[in-house]
Amino acid sequence: MEGGGKAGYSYGGHHHHQDAKLLKNLSRVEPRRFGLGLVAGFLIVTCAYFSTAKFDAIHIAMISSPAKNAAGFMNASSDGSNQQQLDLDRDAMSREGSKAQVLDRDDDDKISSLGPDLGHNASVVEGKKKDETFAKDSGDASVSASTDEALAKDDDAIVGAVLPPLSSEEPTNSTQDSVLEDEELKVQETAPVATNPSPEKSSNNGSSPSVVPSDPATLPVQQIPPTPEAKDPTAQQIPAVPEAKVPPVQQIPAFPVVKTDSEAAPRRKEWKPLCDLWSNRRIDWCELDGDVRVDGANGTVSLVAPPGPADERTFRAESWHIKPYPRKADPNAMRHVRVLTVQSLPATAASAAAPACTERHDVPGLVFSDRGYTGNYFHAYTDVILPLFLTARQYSGEVKLLVSDFQMWWLGKFLPVFKAVSNYDLINLDDDRRVHCFRHVQVGLTCHADFSIDPSRAPNGYTMVDFTRFMRATYRLPRDAPFPASGEHQPRRPWRPRLLVIARARTRRFVNADEIVRGAERAGFEVVVSEGEHEVAPFAELANTCDAMVGVHGAGLTNMVFLPTGGVVIQVVPLGGLEFVAGYFRGPSRDMGLRYLEYRITPEESTLIDQYPRDHPIFTDPDGVKSKGWNSLKEAYLDKQDVRLDMKRFRPILKKAIAHLRKNSSNNTTLN
């Protein structure tokens, strides 16, 4: 019993001794260290909890095809170990995403070397959170699509200022760019699919620029952004793993929608009629691009369709009858102009209807007629020479001229002009038995109005000033401005400008030419009188030595094209209400940079006063004479009338002319 009591005592005393020792030890622990220990322990427990928990809130968007994605999800749902591995890899991806954002801020040069769009896309990820790249399980596809659309709009808004776009297709705007357009389309068709990050033309069709990852050869073209495929099916579920050799920054880009083959394909040129018979009141004209065959002997210009089935959206069989001369409303002018057939032929009918090529040309061809009224000096310019400049000058000589109704005498007269616009010999369509093949042909020349150019519609914005410069250069004329040539002897008296008086041999003559010469000399001019001759060059040289010209309405005034810019043209308008025909020179002279002055004679200055009494309808009712038709007007006022100028009445016109020239000469001398 004693022993038991001792034992009991001994046990109780030992336990009490141990408790006392523990309290003593705890009392030695500092409170600060104890608090830090508790916090550390809490953090360790929390980390352990989150490392073993399973969350479904975040997953990486699948990038493989839908069939493969379905298989991947079935394997994941049937295998718990795979799910655990997926969670671990997601955590690794989150850490890699953080690294990628650091690289995005620190290594801009590396990002730009990986692709032109990645710099912008990385900034989008940083500013808009990661739901631009990742999507929740509920609504995965819809969120991904909306994200791509937002990124596409953002790219379009700044593509011109930040990023060089990779590819585009540009819609056509005008038929005049059809040859460039075709060249652009050829370039687009042969270009690789955006494997080079070098900039190309931006898109105008509202779609986002194409983005090409580092290895496009392994990517399928589809709406879901592609990534490289792996051989292991399970690896496809998490395409951007940390062990990948690709730099981490490339593993979380926000990819815009990649264009499919149908979207990236260049837009085909839509069909339009070969010929235009409505927009121009002066001429019918046609424009053909492709396999064009000109058979002069048979008078046909044929466009042959490319091989394969015909597509009415781009090609249709047509046939037109064209007279390529710019007086289509005048039956007299068009009476002797040859009719040409302009047609388009399907490939199946081309072998029978279109002859084989015997001559192939790598430059464009222009088809026109030199008949009509070209025997008249004014009509030679307004109907052929000026339209030829307007149509052919843009090719800088690399164009072939095919002439219908070939008149050798007329072509020889203006041969310097034809040599100036074309580096090749003229082709006589009437007698040429060859079949000429081109890639581009225009039938009928471009023209706007009589002896006039509309710069807003002209190639390269040509003006009448450009035309006069061209004519002076063609005939190698030295004077471009009306002032004394440098080094020329200057007398003490004021400079005397030179006046050309155009004399006519048959009708509308100056019957007092000697008096006109004396009056002009008293006004301060040096005067030259000339009628002109068949050859253009000698009269062009004479006109260019003068500063002003005066003449009765007629073709001789056309030589104003050789006057220096800033010169003066004085048109004397005969009796008979002919102010409307004076407009053929009134507007064009001003467009050429010349000062235009108009003098309308009185009945006393017309020789008609010698043929009819003063109360004759030819004086009192010119509108009645004109109402009977052009022939009646021409016979009464153009063929039977000469002019006798009243020099007292005409002298103010001469003074205005010389004052303008001296002022212009003074300004030019100051500038030079």
Phi, psi of 475 (to 5 degrees): -100, 15
Mean pLDDT value across residues 58-63? 42
**Strand-pair partners of 570:** 550, 597
Average pLDDT value for residue range 579-594: 95
- What average pLDDT is seen over the chain? 73
> Residue 172's pLDDT band (boundaries 50, 70, 90)?
very low
Rounded mean pLDDT, 330-348: 92
Say which DSSP state 541 is in: H
- pLDDT at 175 > cutoff 80: no
Mean pLDDT of 383-387: 98
The residue that leads in pLDDT, 349 or 84, is 349
Task: Name which of 6-15, 586-595, 637-646, 660-669 the model is least confident about.
Answer: 6-15
Q: In angstroms, rounded to a whole number, what is the distance separating the alpha carbons of residues 334 and 343?
A: 21
Within 13 A of 551's CA, how many CA atoms are on the CB side?
27
CB 608 within 8 Å of CB 641: yes
**Beta strands at 365-369 and 435-443: parallel, antiparallel or unpaired:** parallel
CA separation for the pair 305, 303 (Å, rounded): 6
Backbone angles phi, psi at 193, to 5 degrees: -80, 80
The pLDDT-based confidence of 35 (bands split at 50, 70, 90) is confident
Q: How many CB atoms lie within 10 A of CB 469?
A: 17
Residue 36: enclosing H or E segment and its boundaries? helix 31-52
Task: Tell me the angle at which helices 513-523 and 647-671 cross, rounded to the nearest 10 degrees.
Answer: 50
Name the pLDDT band for 169 (thresholds 50, 70, 90): very low
Please, which pLDDT band fits residue 446 given cuts at 50, 70 and 90?
very high
Phi, psi of 571 (to 5 degrees): -105, 125
User: Which residues face 486 on adjacent strands?
Assistant: none
pLDDT class of 508 with cuts at 50, 70, 90: very high
- Strands 498-502 and 548-552, by their bridges, are parallel
Give the confidence band of 239 by pLDDT, cuts at 50, 70, 90. Answer: very low
In this prediction, residues 73-79 reach a mean pLDDT of 40
Q: What is the mean pLDDT of the segment spanning 498-524?
A: 95
Backbone φ, ψ for residue 529 (5° rounding): -115, 130
Segment 40-67 shows an average pLDDT of 59
Neighbours of 303 (CB within 10 A): 23
Instruction: Determine what percent of the chain is predicted with pLDDT higher than 90.
Output: 50
Q: How far is CA 442 from the centre of its chain?
A: 19
Q: Which domains does the chain have, with CATH numbers?
A: 275-462 (no CATH), 480-669 (3.40.50)
Residues 133-146: tens digit of each pLDDT? 333 344 444 434 44
Average pLDDT, stretch 444-464? Answer: 95
Confidence of residue 40 (pLDDT cuts 50, 70, 90): confident
Question: In this predicted structure, what is the pLDDT of residue 495?
Answer: 86
Q: How far is CA 61 from the centre of its chain?
A: 43
Mean pLDDT of all residues in 512-528: 96
Tokens at 205, concatenated:
């069709």
Q: How far apart are CA 404 and CA 430, in angstroms?
A: 6
Query: pTM to 2 decimals?
Result: 0.61
Residue with more model confidence, 604 or 227: 604
Distance (Å, rounded) from C-alpha 104 to C-alpha 119? 7
Residue 354: band (very low, low, confident or very high) from pLDDT cuts 50, 70, 90: confident
Mean pLDDT across 208-225: 35
First-residue to last-residue Cα distance in the chain: 144
**What pLDDT digit, counting tens, does each position of 274-305 carry?**
999 999 999 999 999 999 999 999 999 999 98
> Of 607, 473, 501, whose CA–CA distance to 619 is shortest?
607
443 has a pLDDT exceeding 60 = yes
